[in-house]
Amino acid sequence: MIKESYNVPEETDLVTASLNGDKKAFGEIVTKYQKMVARTVKGMLGDSVFADDIGQEVFIKLYYSLSEFRGEAKLSTYIQKIAVNLTLNEIKRRKRFFSMFSQKGNNEMYEFEVADQDNEERKEASELVNKALQAMDPKFRIILTMRMLQGYSTKETAEMLDLPLGTVLSRLSRAQEQLRNILEKL
Amino acid sequence: MKASEIKKLLISSLNANTDTTDISGRLEESGISFDFKKGFSEKVMNKVFSVGITVNKEVEFVKSMTFAFNRIALTGVAAIVILLLSIFLMEGTISFNSFIGLSNNYDESIVCLLTGN
């Protein structure tokens, strides 16, 4: 199980403490959820130079919107939604930028950095996943990221992306088709 | 994990009925992990709390400005009240003419003053 979360009272305590200016409490939230955010942001944007900046933005936005967090949903869900929104906005921004200044796709700016480079097989595996992700249409890529990297069910994916379940199901099948085509070439 | 197995895993993750909870874990075991660069949380904390200081400074500035405005406004209102009171005491009325200092002059004398006739 990879979906990180605290139990609710602990989560509420951390949020309350952070709202009262407790740096340590907020630091704990950052440490706990940074990997989850990294999976979404880096899965969507690749290991690009901007991914860390977007990741930081996610937590800055979280800090300033903590007062709006009512505890009805899990904190992880709340953070994940911020991460998804900021990442999709960044993709839109890049799309506009590249359509204005370049005819090339933006995949060329991704640099693939592998966590454990001493093993050739691991490096290849990492590159394969990154390349497959980045070659996908963003609307399918986010579905793959939510399912493969975050382990969300179809229903959870729909809730996370604010999409009807039917739309997610249809995108899953189209994404699978696109992924098959991409993987054949890799 | 071999490339072919990873490809199968990726494709199966897009099956609506697949239980995806352990896919990320299996990918991590194969060296596929998504992490921010070292010192990420420190950078976040610095940014969050340095921005906080800036915001606090802005709030302090606004508070100082409001305080200064209130002081100036109160002083101004007090000066106007004293002025009106002194006019009333000297002229016995607070008409427009007395306010602009014309209460003791007739219109004719002003015409004489201006034309010299």
Choose the mutation target among B4, B13, B42 for the interface with A, i.e. most A CBs under 10 Å.
B13
Q: pLDDT digits over A151-169, tens only?
A: 898 999 999 899 999 999 9
Residues A29 and A98 in one domain: yes
- Among A71, A94, A109, give the residue marking a domain's end: A109
**Does the model's ipTM exceed the 0.95 cut?**
no
How many C-beta neighbours within 10 Å does residue A10 have? 12
Average pLDDT over residues A169-182: 91
d(CA B41, CA B53): 18
Sign of the C-alpha dihedral computed for residues A94, A95, A97 and A98 taken in this order: positive
- Among A84, A109, A134, give the residue marking a domain's end: A109
Q: What range defines the domain where residue A10 resides?
A: 1-109
Residues A79 and A133 in one domain: no
- Taking the Cβ of residue A20 and every Cβ of chain B, the question of whether any pair is shorter than 8 Å is answered with no
- Among A49, A79, A109, give the residue marking a domain's end: A109
- Residues in A touching B10 (Cβ below 8 Å): 129, 132, 144, 148, 179, 183
What is the SS3 assignment for A2?
A: coil
Sign of the C-alpha dihedral computed for residues A181, A185, A186 and B5 taken in this order: positive
Evaluate if residue A114 carries a pLDDT over 60.
no
pLDDT band at residue A5 using 50, 70 and 90 as cut-offs? low
Residues A14 and A95 in one domain: yes
Q: What angle do CA A110, A114, A119 make, to 5 degrees?
A: 140
Residues A73 and A164 in one domain: no
CB contact under 8 A, A151 and B22: yes
Give the lowest-confidence range in A23-32, B54-63, B97-106: B97-106
Average pLDDT over residues A15-25: 88
pLDDT at A107: 47
CB contact under 8 A, A176 and B15: yes
Number of domains observed in the structure of chain A: 2
**Residues of A (158-177) whose Cβ lies below 8 Å from B:** 169, 172-173, 175-176
CATH of the domain at A138: 1.10.10.10
Query: Which residue's structure tokens are 């690009």?
Result: A48
Evaluate if residue A105 carries a pLDDT over 80.
no
Percent of chain A, pLDDT > 90?
Answer: 37
Q: Which of B21, B44, B45 sits opposite A151 (nearest CB)?
A: B21
d(CA A89, CA A77): 18
